[in-house]
């Protein structure tokens, strides 16, 4: 019998911020969850939009002089090529959807650059 | 200043079940919300996977002899070509992600067939 993916249960399995887990595939896209805390690398994805949906907590996406603040049940799509910096002083649990080959730090390699862990 | 999309606020703007609203674009995909209640048309999407994430309530996706039951925070991707019937006796609010041209009843036109309303 097929089983659903329980996002709360998946997120309970790890604590490190900024280390995405891939929980499912949607065509050539990955559905990922990530914990955020603190300031991430400012970067852009020249080739793709990127969707953020906050599940719990809060996160701000800085985009130059603009910013968008996200709480639970709020989503935002960063347009392709837009430099953005996720910051999350209080932490958040976030759902990401992006093409499979998308690197978390986009065009700006940093200490945060990582391959998503693929969960069964 | 860019603003987030608040899924609860969007869903509060309509009550009809099985009438998806497109809330954002992600490349050539649409991010949609829908209310479910009762039994939907059994159908397949021969050309694409389809993601369901239950936000509130509960929904079952029947797939032949199999079924997957989804509650809040649980997601499932119906593989392309898989006949499936969403049923939701108690109702649910659901996030859908699928390619823009995806028709809600897939290969099986019915009274439920509808174009998603695009929200600004």
Q: Using one digit for the tens of pLDDT, what is the confidence trace for B17-52?
A: 999 999 999 999 999 999 999 999 999 999 999 999
Tell me the ipTM for this assembly.
0.94
Distance CA A55, CA B91 (A): 21
- Residue A7, token pair as written in the block: 């996002």
Distance from CA of A48 to the nearest CA of B (A): 7
The model's pLDDT over B85-94, given as tens digits with 9 standing for 90+, comes to: 999 999 999 9
Name the residue facing A73 among B7, B75, B80 (closest C-beta).
B7
Contact A2 B63 (CB under 8 A): yes
Report, in angstroms and rounded to the nearest whole number, the Rg of chain A calculated over CA atoms. Answer: 13
The C-alpha atoms of residue A70 and residue B48 are separated, in whole angstroms, by 30
**Whole-prediction pTM value?**
0.95
Considering CB atoms only, which of B5, B25, B29 is closest to A74? Answer: B5
A2/B75 Cβ within 8 A = no
Partner residue opposite B2 with nearest CB, options A26, A31, A66: A66
């Amino acid at each position: 019998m097929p089983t659903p993916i329980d996002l709360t249960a998946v997120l309970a399995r790890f604590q490190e911020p900024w280390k995405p887990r891939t929980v499912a595939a949607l065509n050539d896209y990955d559905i990922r969850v990530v914990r955020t805390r603190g300031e991430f690398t400012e970067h852009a994805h020249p080739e793709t939009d990127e969707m953020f949906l906050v599940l719990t907590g809060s996160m701000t996406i800085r985009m130059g002089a603009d910013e968008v603040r996200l709480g639970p049940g709020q989503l935002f799509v960063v347009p392709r090529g837009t430099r953005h910096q996720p910051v999350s002083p209080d932490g958040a649990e976030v759902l990401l959807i992006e093409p499979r080959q998308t690197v978390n730090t986009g065009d700006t390699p940093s200490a945060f650059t990582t391959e998503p862990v693929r969960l069964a």
